[in-house]
A and B are shown apart, each in its own frame.
Chain A
Amino acid sequence: MELFKNYKEGDASSLIPMMQDVQDQYGYLPEEEMVKLARFTHLPVARIYGVASFYNQFRLRPLGKYVIRVCRGTACHVKGSLDILRILESELGIKAGETSKDLNFTIETVACIGACSIAPVIAINDEFHGGLTAKSLSKLVSRYKKMVQKERKQ
């Protein structure tokens, strides 16, 4: 219950911030934490699950070390973000919304990152990469792949 110490027990209106805290801690929403949340907020677990599945932010599965968020906003779409997504998917061998088996990469699509002026944009963890082309993307991906390999060796 350490995680909820800033909140009042039975305060249903703080459900979403609490879930955000849990996700910050674990990277996703583990089932047992959702049960704990339900007890703490005096809400049925179904309601917690309902909220978790409604919002794009919440995930029910663990994430990779590098989360690649591909912007699918209008400006990015017009500038070819679908191709960017396809290339990423084939380079990493996973589909959007999936995590690689070694838990290194996750690809997610987001509605709009809000950096439309430098479309097409992807964000790897919190770092933005804009104005991508097929070639610059391949370079970027191989850079991260190398980083992963290096980490594995260590």
Chain B
Amino acid sequence: MRFIDYYEQKKSADEPPAGRFIVEALENFSADQQSESEIQQVRKSVLLENISEPAILIGMGTCGLANGANKVMEAIEKELEKHQISAKLIPVGCVGYCAKEVIVDIKRPGELRISYAQVKVTDVPALIESTLVKNEIYHEKLLGVYYPDGALMDENLPDINSIPFFRNQQKVVLANCGVIDPENIDAYLARGGYQALHKALITQSPDNVIQEVIDAGLRGRGGGGFPAGKKWHFARNTKADQKYLICNADEGDPGAFMDRAVLEGDPHRVVEGMIIAAYAIGASEGYVYCRAEYPLAIKRLEKTIAQAKEYGLLGEKIMGSDFSFNLKIKKGAGAFVCGEETALIHSIEGKRGMPRPRPPFPAVSGLFGKPTIINNVETLANIPALINNGAQWYTGIGTDNSKGTKIFALSGKIVNTGLVEVPMGVTLRKIIFDIGGGIPDGKKFKAVQIGGPSGGALPESVIDTPVDYESLKSVGAIMGSGGLVVMDESTCMVDLAKYFMTFIQSESCGKCIPCREGTKRLLEILERLTHSYKSERNPEEALLRFQGMMYLERLADVIKNTSLCGLGQTAANPVISTLRYFRAEYEAHLYDRKCPSGHCRELLTYFIDTSKCTGCTLCAIKCPENAIIGEKKGPHYIIDERCVRCDQCRVNCNYDAIYVR
């Protein structure tokens, strides 16, 4: 039975809407644990505390699906049918440990919830047989056990929270991700969801809510770090007949996927945060501006909004108060610049997503000329916990000027890729080496790119920097939205800068000249650095290469100081930061015409180690330019003049006989 059905039965004409019931009832539960009322039983079954049949929870976020969660689920269904076991299959969001997907949790009635990792289709028969037929633990794939507070631990069964990946995290925003069924509002409610909304609507005035957020020191998680409460305060104090709230879920920053995971794993938290924010600023209409590249997130959001409406948590007179709020989804159409507030507004209005000068700030004149607040997904997802526990609790987490937790998306050359939530002030070293497990394949750490295309690459010498807005700025990076891309010694920093310039250059909206032309020129300079003499069309290129290098910093400075919007002002950051920390690498490209990391193909020379070559002729067959010669079963050689550095020979060699220098 669902909560709403329970209340439908009891409803009499003069009682307030369903939403209020739920929250009041939930408040009573915590006070009176003794009574096993009917609703309490419903709640327990939603929380999987008293279930009559086994529950199987499968991580079905985008990363889970990409690792074959769909096929694993099919295989499980088949196995269950084979053994004639009836069990409840529940798709959940991402628990964050993407490197270990597909993660399958199994909970038998009256027992603990046990998590299994890296489950493949071929593991399913053994998994189901040992866990559900023989009632044993399938140790081969065991990840950990969810122990309830104060439960006795079994030495052989590790607590999931004691695993290094989880031990150093503090989950506030991600508390429900991967734990509950994101498409079931009851699951969110049973874990205390929408209680903050109730608290705000019934016991606090909008000004109280804003004051609470200001006191908590919550700063925007989208990158800029502007205090959220202050922004709300501006919008609140602007008089208008209509105000808007927009949730910015246009996560265009390459290397970041926090917002996607939150929307896929716990969409109700975002919606609750939005309703509270709308109440605080007095908005009656809201939009979620979500990337069209996130189809699953959009699907889940649609369901979430429909459920919230059904329960009376969206729409007219929410929870019996005088506050009404409606929410719509707008799909982005793929433009990085639409992460910028004014560009995003133009996009919702159906125009080209180009920024405009500020002021007037959107809080004064935004969407359709009305006061508009735009907050990032993670900022809004912080609100329910903040209101529930109060500003004092919130200020207890983090550093002096950066409060709360921050979610980071760990990716690149790192063992434990995934999503982590840590309190502000933790050092980057701790995130990369303790939680992330360091660099794979025994390679050395080189740099970490933080803040995406607007941020910077930080070398080992500064990775003891604590993550907070100011400290990161002082070392030449920004907090950004939370993408952490780790790079090892085989990554070329000039190539990285070139990569970001290619990205920025194609994403520049073209409105202002410094960004449109400047990034193009920056890219040209970087390209000249990575081209060899051979591919140069005229002899002046070599001179232009030196000239470009001389002007590189000045050009970066001009772009930074004269661009209109945030995209342009930060566009040169990857170049500035790599120049600051990896100047020697630029110089090697320029003077020695070598790529120290062995990445820039044109600057490499291919050789065949004749002692390893068996003369299998595979490389000669694969070579598109016939640059490899040699007798069958005899050593082969590469003619450098013909070689186009396509790398096909090295990739295809079965004897590792081809090396580069």
9-residue interface stretch from A9-17, A60-68, A99-107: A9-17
Secondary structure at the A interface, as helix, strand, loop or mixed, is helix
Is there an interface contact between B333 and A116, defined as CB atoms closer than 8 Å? no
Neighbouring A residues of B294 by C-beta, 8 Å: 114
Is there an interface contact between A13 and B349, defined as CB atoms closer than 8 Å? yes
- Of all chain B residues, which has the CB nearest A90? B624
Contact with B along A1-29 (1 / 0, CB 8 A): 00000000000111111011000000000
Is there an interface contact between A74 and B254, defined as CB atoms closer than 8 Å? yes
- Per the 8 Å Cβ criterion, residues 84-128 of B in contact with A are 98-99, 101
Is there an interface contact between A134 and B651, defined as CB atoms closer than 8 Å? yes
Is there an interface contact between A116 and B62, defined as CB atoms closer than 8 Å? no
- Per the 8 Å Cβ criterion, residues 31-79 of A in contact with B are 41, 50-51, 54-58, 72-79
A119 to chain B, nearest CB (A): 6
Tell me if B256 counts as interface (CB < 8 A to partner A): yes
Secondary structure at the B interface, as helix, strand, loop or mixed, is mixed
| Bound CA–CA A17/B347 (angstroms) | 10
| Bound CA–CA A128/B353 (angstroms) | 28
Neighbouring B residues of A14 by C-beta, 8 Å: 350
Is there an interface contact between B647 and A111, defined as CB atoms closer than 8 Å? no
B378 to chain A, nearest CB (A): 14
Is there an interface contact between B254 and A121, defined as CB atoms closer than 8 Å? no
Tell me if B253 counts as interface (CB < 8 A to partner A): yes
A143 to chain B, nearest CB (A): 15
Is there an interface contact between A114 and B293, defined as CB atoms closer than 8 Å? yes
Neighbouring B residues of A94 by C-beta, 8 Å: none
Contact with A along B345-371 (1 / 0, CB 8 A): 001111111000000000000001000
Is there an interface contact between B254 and A54, defined as CB atoms closer than 8 Å? no
Neighbouring A residues of B352 by C-beta, 8 Å: 50-51, 54
Neighbouring B residues of A16 by C-beta, 8 Å: 330-331, 333, 347, 350
Tell me if A92 counts as interface (CB < 8 A to partner B): no
- Of all chain A residues, which has the CB nearest B413? A78
Is there an interface contact between A73 and B65, defined as CB atoms closer than 8 Å? no
Is there an interface contact between A51 and B255, defined as CB atoms closer than 8 Å? no
- Of all chain A residues, which has the CB nearest B490? A78
- Of all chain A residues, which has the CB nearest B329? A17
Contact with B along A91-132 (1 / 0, CB 8 A): 000000000000000000011111111110100001011100
Evaluate whether A111 and B349 lie within 8 angstroms (CB atoms) in the complex, with A55-B333, A134-B651 already known.
Answer: no
Neighbouring B residues of A112 by C-beta, 8 Å: 251-257, 293
Neighbouring B residues of A128 by C-beta, 8 Å: 62, 65-66
Is there an interface contact between B260 and A83, defined as CB atoms closer than 8 Å? no
Contact with B along A75-87 (1 / 0, CB 8 A): 1111100010010
B376 to chain A, nearest CB (A): 15
Is there an interface contact between A114 and B351, defined as CB atoms closer than 8 Å? no
| Bound CA–CA A13/B330 (angstroms) | 11
- Of all chain B residues, which has the CB nearest A43? B350
Is there an interface contact between A117 and B98, defined as CB atoms closer than 8 Å? yes
| Bound CA–CA A141/B332 (angstroms) | 30
Kindly identify which residue among A19, A58, A118 contacts B63, using a CB–CB cutoff of 8 Å.
A118
Neighbouring B residues of A134 by C-beta, 8 Å: 651-652
Neighbouring B residues of A130 by C-beta, 8 Å: 63, 66-67
Is there an interface contact between B254 and A73, defined as CB atoms closer than 8 Å? yes
Is there an interface contact between A119 and B411, defined as CB atoms closer than 8 Å? yes
| Bound CA–CA A74/B481 (angstroms) | 14
| Bound CA–CA A14/B295 (angstroms) | 19
- Of all chain B residues, which has the CB nearest A81? B499
Is there an interface contact between B347 and A117, defined as CB atoms closer than 8 Å? no
Is there an interface contact between A119 and B412, defined as CB atoms closer than 8 Å? yes
Tell me if B485 counts as interface (CB < 8 A to partner A): yes
| Bound CA–CA A59/B101 (angstroms) | 34
B560 to chain A, nearest CB (A): 20
Task: Report the contact-size class of chain A (Cβ under 8 Å from the partner).
Answer: 35 or more
Is there an interface contact between B255 and A57, defined as CB atoms closer than 8 Å? no
Is there an interface contact between B331 and A117, defined as CB atoms closer than 8 Å? no
Neighbouring B residues of A110 by C-beta, 8 Å: 293, 334
Is there an interface contact between B417 and A117, defined as CB atoms closer than 8 Å? yes
Tell me if B431 counts as interface (CB < 8 A to partner A): no
Is there an interface contact between B252 and A111, defined as CB atoms closer than 8 Å? yes
Is there an interface contact between A74 and B293, defined as CB atoms closer than 8 Å? no
Evaluate whether A55 and B353 lie within 8 angstroms (CB atoms) in the complex, with A74-B449, A116-B483, A119-B411 already known.
Answer: yes
Is there an interface contact between A79 and B260, defined as CB atoms closer than 8 Å? no
| Bound CA–CA A129/B70 (angstroms) | 13
- Per the 8 Å Cβ criterion, residues 390-429 of B in contact with A are 409-413, 417-419
Tell me if B188 counts as interface (CB < 8 A to partner A): no
Evaluate whether A54 and B353 lie within 8 angstroms (CB atoms) in the complex, with A78-B487, A117-B99 already known.
Answer: yes
Evaluate whether A111 and B507 lie within 8 angstroms (CB atoms) in the complex, with A12-B349, A78-B487 already known.
Answer: yes
B470 to chain A, nearest CB (A): 24
Is there an interface contact between A74 and B63, defined as CB atoms closer than 8 Å? no
A126 to chain B, nearest CB (A): 7
Is there an interface contact between B66 and A114, defined as CB atoms closer than 8 Å? no
| Bound CA–CA A80/B507 (angstroms) | 21
B353 to chain A, nearest CB (A): 7
Tell me if B292 counts as interface (CB < 8 A to partner A): yes
A16 to chain B, nearest CB (A): 5
Evaluate whether A51 and B350 lie within 8 angstroms (CB atoms) in the complex, with A110-B293, A111-B503 already known.
Answer: yes
Kindly identify which residue among B293, B331, B503 contacts A113, using a CB–CB cutoff of 8 Å.
B293
Neighbouring A residues of B334 by C-beta, 8 Å: 55-57, 110-111
* Centre residue among A14, A54, A72, A86 by max chain B CB count within 10 A: A54
- Of all chain B residues, which has the CB nearest A75? B411
Neighbouring B residues of A72 by C-beta, 8 Å: 254, 503
| Bound CA–CA A17/B252 (angstroms) | 19
B88 to chain A, nearest CB (A): 26
Contact with A along B627-655 (1 / 0, CB 8 A): 00000000000000000001100011000
Is there an interface contact between B66 and A129, defined as CB atoms closer than 8 Å? yes
Neighbouring A residues of B651 by C-beta, 8 Å: 83, 134
25 examples of A-B residue contacts, CB within 8 angstroms? A12-B349, A13-B350, A16-B330, A54-B353, A57-B333, A74-B412, A74-B483, A75-B254, A76-B254, A77-B254, A77-B496, A77-B499, A78-B487, A79-B412, A79-B413, A111-B336, A112-B293, A113-B62, A114-B62, A114-B257, A115-B257, A117-B98, A117-B101, A118-B417, A119-B412
Closest 8 CB pairs of A and B: A117-B98, A56-B334, A15-B350, A73-B254, A128-B66, A55-B333, A116-B411, A75-B411
Given A15-B350, A117-B410, A130-B63; 14 other pairs, CB 8 A cutoff: A20-B292, A51-B351, A51-B352, A56-B334, A72-B503, A74-B485, A75-B485, A78-B412, A78-B413, A83-B647, A116-B483, A117-B101, A130-B66, A130-B67
